[in-house]
Chains A and B, each alone.
Chain A
Amino acid sequence: MAKIECPECGEQIEMTGIVTVCPKCGADLREVMQAVEHERDERMKTIARDDSVTTHEFIVRTRDLKKIYVMGEIEVPALRDIDLDVRRGEYLSIMGPSGSGKSTLFNMIGGLDKPTAGRCFIEEVDMAQLDAFELAWLRCRKIGYIFQTFNLIPVMTALENVTLPMIFAGMGTDEMMDRGRELLTLVGLGDRLDHKPYELSGGQQQRVAVARALANSPAIVLADEPTGNLDLHTGKEIIDLLKELNQASGVTVISATHDLKMIDVSDRIVHIRDGKIERIEHRHEIELEVGGMGR
């Protein structure tokens, strides 16, 4: 509790907000109290500003994130108080057995579902505060999604799938087509532009999905089991592609997975079990462990 000094007699008085006159000499204290409050407000503001600077390296933060699914009369907790900070430019893997809450966490971070309690911040913006338009904008421009089942629009060609988010972003047709072609060429599908998803192999479909996720230069690429439906070799290719992307442009990659191939490329691995973070491994720790075993 802050103390103030009586300007008349020098008595130290605790500031409670109730007492406005000096108990000793009866002098009016309101002016002094206002000055103290003002000073405190200013200090709080600068702290808040400093805070935003220091925490800005985190592109995603979750605080006490909870999700409870209600199945009939039973409540099934999928996430229990998840606190997770993801650095900008990081390659983060969320690992855990199926049913551990990986995908639920993925949905929360991606703004695809609402948490039961707790908060999720994207670049310090609380997602719960966003209206439908802002949320759509965020999904369109700032987050790229990759799914286990590819989720391409079946009636559209590879190029159309990639350009769809650009239509929503209001890009001009020519620019859109050029960019779509470039992106598809980058992921190695320059000769498959006009193929429909069913005419492409699983790995190729996932490449289209990667290109689509990059359509509007997102800050975050969210991947939910990106290799789950792929064989070992194609899975590795997709992982490499994501890693290259992460290193080349500093895009933050967050992927929910139980593919052990991901360990090699991840900066950090968050292990989740029963909706709680079990432990977080850093890459250098793992490398040390592996090195130790080799010796």
Chain B
Amino acid sequence: MLDVDGLARLTEQKDKESIKIQRQITLPWSEAVRISVRNVTIRLGRTMITASGIVLGIAFLSSVWTSGVIQDGLQQAQLQQERELVAATASDQAESDSAESEATAGPSETEKQAQGSKRIWLVVMSLLVCGVGITNAMLMSVTERFREIGTMKCLGALDNFIVRLFLIEAIALGILGSVLGTILGHLAMLGIFAIRERSLSVAAKMDWSQMLTYLLLCVLIGAVLSLVSAIAPAVRAARMRPAAALQSEI
């Protein structure tokens, strides 16, 4: 029933005399990336849930910044309009008019300041929200796989292999989720303002270079946050004794 010769050949003891304990154990980066990416793509449902934490947090941040940039753009456009209006009126009235416009510019400056601090408050809040969301998502995705980690360690994985696998996964998820979240938040805000202004000119009025910087910052923050929040659970899981990891039930 069984190919005994084949079995003997495949499992032949090469060094019958004695085992010399060695230390060389490898996990090439290419393999690590392959395994991590598979882990992400194969549990698509689970990945989506984990990623949605990131997406939502980053979407919030992105929307706050987008609305800020749009409001700035609208304000700028309004100022421009007023200035053009002023330039269009008679030049001999310029002095009194400029004094008038300065007078109107005064309160708008303090208004701007109030708006600025409100925006900072929103950004901090959204950072907190996405920080908590991402940490929670990463913590869950690590703890539900304790058994798998224990098995890997039985097969000879070093602690740092486990950490490496999870960090690659976290970065991939982080970038994916933040790109999605950034776009989502940005588009949502654009849509809201376009509807409010009843025109698509909002997009033309805003400072695109500033917008892009903010969007890139969103992706960066999302990726870094998910990486950082994955480190602690991954290290903790990797350090577990295999016996303990294998027994854990989730």
Residues of A at under 8 Å CB distance from B? 56, 107, 110, 112-114, 122-125, 130-134, 136-142, 145, 147, 151-156, 164-165, 167-170, 179, 182-183, 186, 188, 212, 214-219, 240-241, 244-245, 247-251
Do A244 and B23 touch (CB < 8 A)?
no
Number of chain B interface residues as a range = 35 or more
Which of B7, B151, B152, B159 touches A249 (beta carbons < 8 Å)?
B7
- The answer on a CB contact under 8 Å between A155 and B8 is no
Tell me the bound Cα distance from A249 to B154 in angstroms: 22
CB distance from A193 to the nearest CB of B (A): 16
Q: Are A151 and B2 in contact (CB under 8 A)?
A: no
- Cα separation A155 to B42 with both chains bound (whole Å): 7
Point out residues on B near A: beta carbons under 8 Å. 1-8, 10-14, 18-19, 21-28, 31, 38-39, 42-43, 147-148, 150-159, 161, 241-244, 246
- Of the candidates B148, B156, B242, B243, the one whose C-beta lies within 8 Å of that of A169 is B156
Q: Is the CB of B18 within 8 A of A186?
A: no
Name which residue of chain A comes closest to B151, CB basis.
Answer: A151
Bound complex: CA of A114 vs CA of B240, how far in Å? 12
Instruction: Give every chain A residue within 8 A of B155 (Cβ-Cβ).
Output: 139-140, 145, 164-165, 168, 212, 215
Please tell me if the beta carbons of A168 and B157 are within 8 angstroms of each other in the complex. yes
Q: A137-B156, A248-B4 are in contact. Are A217 and B27 (CB under 8 A)?
A: no
**Known contacts A133-B158, A139-B153; is-contact A169 B8 (Cβ 8 Å):** no
Q: Which 7 A-B residue pairings sit nearest by Cβ, starting from the closest?
A: A140-B156, A113-B243, A133-B23, A249-B11, A248-B8, A112-B243, A112-B242
Contact in complex: A147, B246 (CB < 8 Å): yes
Minimum CB–CB distance for B21 against chain A, Å: 5
CA distance A124 to B18 in the complex (A): 9
Given A113-B243, A137-B25, A167 contacting B31 (CB threshold 8 A) = yes
Q: A113, B242: Cβ atoms under 8 Å?
A: yes
Most chain B Cβ neighbours within 10 Å, of A114, A142, A186, A216: A186
On whether A217 and B4 interact (CB within 8 A), knowing A138-B21, A168-B156, the answer reads: no
Contacts of B6 in A (CB 8 A): 182, 186
Distance in Å from the Cβ of B90 to the closest Cβ of chain A? 77
Contact B7 A170 (CB under 8 A): no
Q: Please tell me if the beta carbons of A248 and B42 are within 8 angstroms of each other in the complex.
A: no
Q: Determine how close the nearest CB of chain A comes to the CB of B158; give it in whole angstroms.
A: 5
List 8 extra interface pairs beyond A130-B21, A139-B154, A151-B150, CB under 8 A: A133-B23, A137-B25, A151-B154, A155-B39, A164-B155, A167-B31, A168-B161, A217-B10
Distance of A105 Cα from B108 Cα, bound (Å): 77
Instruction: Check B158 against A132 for contact (C-beta < 8 Å).
Output: yes
Q: B26 and A170: CB pair below 8 A?
A: yes
Q: How far is the CA of A110 from the CA of B38 in the complex (A)?
A: 29
Q: Nearest Cβ distance between residue A197 and chain B, in whole angstroms? A: 11
B18, A56: Cβ atoms under 8 Å?
Answer: yes
Contacts of A151 in B (CB 8 A): 147, 150-151, 154, 246
CB distance from A75 to the nearest CB of B (A): 17
List 20 A-B pairs, Cβ < 8 Å.
A112-B241, A112-B243, A112-B246, A131-B23, A136-B158, A137-B21, A137-B24, A140-B156, A141-B22, A145-B155, A168-B25, A168-B26, A168-B155, A179-B10, A214-B10, A217-B13, A240-B2, A247-B4, A249-B10, A249-B12
Q: How far does the Cβ of A177 sit from chain B's closest Cβ, in whole Å?
A: 13
* B241/A167 in contact, CB under 8 A: no
Whether the Cβ atoms of B241 and A114 lie closer than 8 Å is: yes
Residues of A within 8 A of B243 (CB): 107, 112-113
Q: Chain B nearest CB: distance from A226 CB in Å?
A: 14
**Residues of the B chain whose Cβ atoms lie less than 8 Å from the Cβ of A130:** 21
Query: What residues on A are CB-neighbors of B158 within 8 Å?
Result: 132-133, 136
Residues on the A chain within 8 Å of B43, using CB: 155
Q: Are B156 and A141 in contact (CB under 8 A)?
A: yes
Interfacial chain B residues near A136, Cβ < 8 Å: 23, 25, 153, 156-158
A210 and B148 alpha carbons, distance in the complex (Å): 17
Are the CB atoms of B25 and A214 closer together than 8 Å?
no
Q: Are A113 and B244 in contact (CB-based, < 8 A)?
A: yes
For A141, list chain B residues within 8 Å (CB). Answer: 22, 156
A219 to B18, CA, bound (A): 10
Q: Is the pair A169, B25 in contact by a Cβ cutoff of 8 Å?
A: yes
Tell me the smallest distance from the CB of B13 to a CB of chain A, in Å.
Answer: 6
Do A167 and B23 form a contact, CB below 8 Å, given A112-B246, A136-B157?
Answer: no
